[in-house]
Structure 1
Amino acid sequence: MNLDLEPFQRYSAEYWIDRLALEPHVEGGYYREVYRSTTEVKPGFSSTPRSAATHIYFLLTGDAFSAFHRITADELWHFYEGDAVAVYEILADGTLLTHLLGTDATKGQMPFCVIREGSWFGSRLTGEGSYGLVGCTVAPGFLFTDLELADRTTLIAQYPQHETLIESLTR
C-alpha cells in the first residue's frame, strides 16, 4: 500500500496570521474568535446572559508574550502547531502552576490545560521557538469586559515570590 504522503510541512507564523486572519490581541500575540455559542446562559457572576462558550485561535511569536491577566470563567487551552507554549497560572493562594503546551511528552508537554476562573495567567514560548499556535475555549463565553490586565506593581505586592516572572510578563 503506497499512500504517497507528503513530508510534514511546518508553516511560519506569518502564514498562520494570514491564513487564519489573526489580529493583534490587547494582552499580546494574535487572535481571532472562531466560535461563539448561540446558546445563552446566565452565570452567577453576571447579571447579563452570555454565550455558553467561545473559542479563539491564539498565536504567540518568539518575541511576544501574553501579559498576566484574569477572567471570570475557566479557559481551556489546546495546542495546535509550532513550538511549545508555557502558560503560567498564579492561584489565589500564590501557588504557581506552569502548564507546558506541546506534543513532546518526554519534555513534560501536554496538548491541553485548564486555567481556573479568577487565576492570574500569562504565556510565552519556551526556549528559542518561532511561534506557537493554540486555541482557547472559554465557558461561559468570553467578553472583553471580563478581561482584567494585571498591574505590575499591584501583582508583585500580592505575590512577591513571583516578582521576576511577573516583571517579565507584564507591560
Structure 2
Amino acid sequence: MRDWQRQLGLEAHPEGGYFQRIYTSPHTVPTPAGTRPTATSIHYLLTRDAPRGHLHRNRSDILHFLIDGGPVEYVMLTPDHAVERVTLQSGTRHFLMVPGGVWKASHLVGDAAQALVAEVVTPGFDFADHRFATPADVAGLPADLRLALAPFLPGTSHPPPD
C-alpha cells in the first residue's frame, strides 16, 4: 500500500481525511459570491485513521475521480430530501459529479485501507462557499434520514453503516 499522505505531502482536511491543493486556474469568473478561479483541484485521501469526510455542501459543482484504493461511498442529501449513496470502486465506477448546493459526505467501505480521490471544483473552491452541516440542518428531516446522516455530522464519533 502506497503512503499517499507522505508521498503527496497531504495535510489534515477540516472535512476529515487529508488533502493538498494541486491546481488553481489563473482564469477567473464572476459568481454571486464574488470572483472565483474557473477551477481548482485537490488530492483528497481517506485512511483507516481518518475514514470519513463530514457532511458539507459547496456552491460549486465537484467532480470526484477515484485514483487508488477504495471502495469509498459518497452519501448525498438530494434537493428532494432523499439520501443517495454512490460507491466509487476500482474496476466498476470511479467517477462522481456532485452538483453545487448538495449536501455530501464520504467514508471508506468495508475493509478498505484508504481511498485517494482527485477532486475538481468549478467554479473554483473558496471557503466562503463551503458550509458544514449542523444538527439543525437535518432536524426537520424524517427520522430515517436523520439517522442515515447522523454519523457524518461534524463532532460525531460513531461509524457510518456499511
TM-score by shorter chain over 0.5: yes
* Greater strand fraction, Structure 1 or Structure 2: 2
Structure of greater Rg: 1
The separation in 2 between residues aligned to 1:159 and 1:57, in whole angstroms, is 34
Q: Partner of 1:78 in structure 2?
A: 65
Tell me if 1:97 matches 2:91.
no
- For 1:136, the equivalent position in structure 2 comes to 119
User: Residues 159, 62 of structure 1: CA spacing in aligned structure 2 closer, same or farther, 3 A cutoff?
Assistant: farther
**Secondary structure, aligned partner of 2:140:** helix
Q: Distance in 1 between matches of 2:18 and 2:142?
A: 28
- Matched with 1:38 is 26
Letter of the 1:102 counterpart:
Q
Q: CA RMSD, aligned part only?
A: 1.3
User: Is 2:45 the counterpart of 1:66?
Assistant: no
Which residue in the other structure is 2:13 paired with?
Answer: 25
**Gap regions ≥5 residues in structure 2:** 156-162
What letter matches 2:48 in structure 1?
G
Question: Does the alignment pair 1:119 with 2:105?
Answer: no
TM-score (norm 2): 0.89
Distance in structure 2 (CA, Å) of the matches to 1:77 and 1:23: 19
List structure 1 segments (4+ residues) > 2 angstroms apart after TM superposition. Answer: 156-161
Q: CA deviation at 1:159?
A: 4.9
TM-score after normalising by structure 1: 0.84
Tell me the secondary structure at the aligned position of residue 167 of structure 1.
Answer: helix
Deviation at 1:167, TM superposition (A): 1.2
Q: How many residues align?
A: 153
Deviation of 1:117 (Å): 0.8
Question: Structure 1: how far apart are the matches of 2:83 and 2:129?
Answer: 22
Q: Distance in 2 between matches of 1:159 and 1:66?
A: 23
1:98 partner amino acid: R
8 Å Cα contact 1:156-1:166 kept in structure 2: no
- Go from structure 1 to structure 2 and tell me whether the alpha carbon gap of 1:119 and 1:20 turns closer, same or farther (over 3 Å shift): same
How far apart in 2 are the matches of 1:156 and 1:124? 22
* In 2, Cα distance between equivalents of 1:95 and 1:140: 26
Question: What percent identity do the matched residue pairs reach?
Answer: 28
Letter in 2 for 1:150: A
